[in-house]
């Protein structure tokens, strides 16, 4: 059954937020980096046994024929080593899925693209390629990569021939068991997977037999059959009908198909998913040594109520613990977390106090800039209020906080939704004025600008902020 990309983005994003999402990667994901797919891996081997790979559909049998003719796995092992130790290019799809806050990755690929990219994202990876690894857990792991068909470093154990599939339950019995569990309890997004794998067919069949129509919902991408791909209208019509039947058949197992006209659309969808995930994470930026016409109590009430309302609406708050604002942000968040969120503090509040004790001004600025970039990189919304500090050269003077300004610049470059509460004055007003002068870039604020500039009623401002972030979470 076909689903719209908007439905996929909404539902898979929700699964990520709830911690129930996973990725299943096939050869198509790695192809963009320069790695071969199953067909092209077997091409030289097929030639050795006088088969034309272009005429073959059953690649599993081709692999077995090659094994039979050679009398050993040596040639197959060497081909795997040659194909998956080559230098490859960047792959944005892999980069995006590694950045997503997902902890479960399945793949039938032999390459190391996923685990290497996860490590680049400073995530500790627990790679499982043999059954005896499944009973141990890497301490403090951030993600698990299940390589159910093996790894390039161990080509003799790779699953490729008919014999390998027949003996799968003997050599890797628990992989199917764990995958069944994930197919039942999680939403998996299949990327670059053709659904021609006998292992997955077997597992899906068992789940369908046990659960009938009560299966979990999963998603996959198919490139829609294009008329331009065929010289003959009959061939096009046949393949189009076949693809539609395949999509309907997958729906029996809860796998919904998202059709794309070309592969770059998959990258666009993954970008949209990442953006939607980030828009659930909200930076509250601001500091205050002076509360001007607001007064300390009212300013703290504003910060606290915004924070409390965000958590109530299931947003996660990031705070750098700004002077005069940070404690109110934390108190507001904790009030709602302890009242209604089962004390799940880490799910709703990320505290990032800045490093202290760096005496050299140049080094401190360098560290703070990188720290701000890291802190903001996982957020999709940035709220600015107040933003002032005592002048370091004259403590009797109040200046607009340059740190707040830098956080705006980073958030803007990160393509965050920007919400400057100009009525709080200081750097927030300066940011508001810049936004107002460039409204083409901030159209989502148009109907709220007057209130953001002049409103000083705490409850009304909270209502406005929540309206904006909820609208943009669904955008």
What positions carry a catalytic annotation? 149
Stated as kind and residue range, the H or E segment containing 284 is strand 281-285
By the 10 Å C-beta count (0-12 exposed, 13-18 middle, 19+ buried), 114 is classed as buried
Which residue bears the tokens 């290019």?
A: 89
Residue of 184, 164, 391, 421 lying closest to 285 (CA atoms) = 421
What region, left, alpha or beta, does residue 185 occupy, with left being phi > 0 and alpha being psi -120 to 50 degrees?
Answer: alpha
DSSP string, 1-67: -B--HHHHHHHHHHHHHHT-EEEEE-HHHHHTTT---HHHHHHHHHHHTT--GGG-S-HHHHHHHHH
End-to-end CA distance of the chain: 24
SS3 content of the chain, % helix, strand, coil (to 5): 55, 15, 30
| Per-residue H/E/C for 53-85 | HHHCCCHHHHHHHHHHHHCCCHHHHHHHHHHHC
């Amino acid at each position: 059954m076909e689903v719209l990309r908007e439905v996929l983005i909404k539902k898979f994003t929700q699964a990520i937020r709830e911690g129930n999402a996973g990725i299943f990667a096939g050869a198509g994901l790695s192809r963009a980096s320069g790695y071969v797919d199953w067909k092209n891996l077997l091409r030289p081997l097929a030639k050795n046994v006088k088969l034309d790979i272009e005429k073959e559909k059953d690649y599993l049998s081709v692999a077995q024929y090659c094994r039979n003719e050679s009398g050993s796995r040596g040639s197959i092992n060497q081909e795997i080593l040659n194909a998956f130790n080559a230098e490859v290019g960047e792959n944005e799809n892999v980069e995006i899925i590694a950045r997503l806050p997902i902890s479960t990755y399945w793949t039938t690929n032999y390459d190391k693209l996923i685990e290497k990219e996860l490590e680049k994202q400073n995530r500790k990876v627990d790679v499982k390629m043999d059954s005896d690894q499944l009973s141990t857990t890497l301490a403090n792991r951030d993600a698990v990569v299940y390589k159910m068909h093996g790894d390039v470093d161990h080509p003799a154990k790779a699953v490729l021939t008919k014999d390998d599939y027949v003996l799968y339950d003997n050599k890797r019995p628990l992989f199917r068991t764990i995958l069944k569990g994930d197919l039942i309890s999680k939403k998996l997004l299949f990327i670059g997977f053709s659904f021609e794998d006998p292992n997955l067919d077997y597992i899906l069949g068992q789940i369908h037999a046990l659960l009938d129509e009560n299966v979990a919902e999963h998603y996959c991408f198919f490139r829609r059959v294009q008329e331009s791909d065929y010289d003959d209208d009959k061939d096009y019509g046949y393949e189009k009908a076949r693809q539609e039947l395949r999509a309907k058949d997958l729906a029996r197992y809860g796998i919904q198909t998202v059709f794309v006209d070309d592969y770059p659309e998959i990258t666009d969808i993954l970008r949209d998913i990442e953006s939607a995930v980030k828009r659930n994470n909200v930076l509250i930026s601001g500091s205050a040594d002076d509360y001007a016409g607001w007064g300390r109590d009212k300013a703290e009430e504003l910060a606290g109520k915004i924070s409390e309302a965000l958590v109530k609406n299931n947003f996660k708050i990031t705070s750098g613990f700004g002077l005069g604002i940070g404690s109110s942000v934390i108190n507001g968040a904790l009030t709602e977390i302890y009242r209604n969120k089962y004390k799940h503090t880490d799910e709703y509040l990320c505290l990032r106090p800045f490093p202290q004790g760096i005496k050299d001004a140049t080094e401190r600025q360098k560290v703070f800039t990188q720290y701000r970039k890291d802190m903001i990189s996982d957020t999709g919304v940035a709220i600015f209020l107040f933003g002032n500090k005592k002048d370091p050269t004259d403590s009797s003077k109040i200046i607009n906080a340059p740190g707040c300004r830098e956080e705006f610049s980073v958030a803007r470059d990160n393509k965050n939704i920007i919400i400057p509460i100009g009525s709080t004055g200081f750097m927030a007003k300066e940011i508001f004025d810049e936004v107002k002068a460039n409204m083409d870039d901030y159209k989502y604020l148009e109907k709220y600008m007057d209130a953001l500039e002049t409103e000083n009623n705490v409850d009304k401002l909270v209502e406005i902020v929540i309206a904006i972030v909820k609208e943009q979470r669904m955008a």
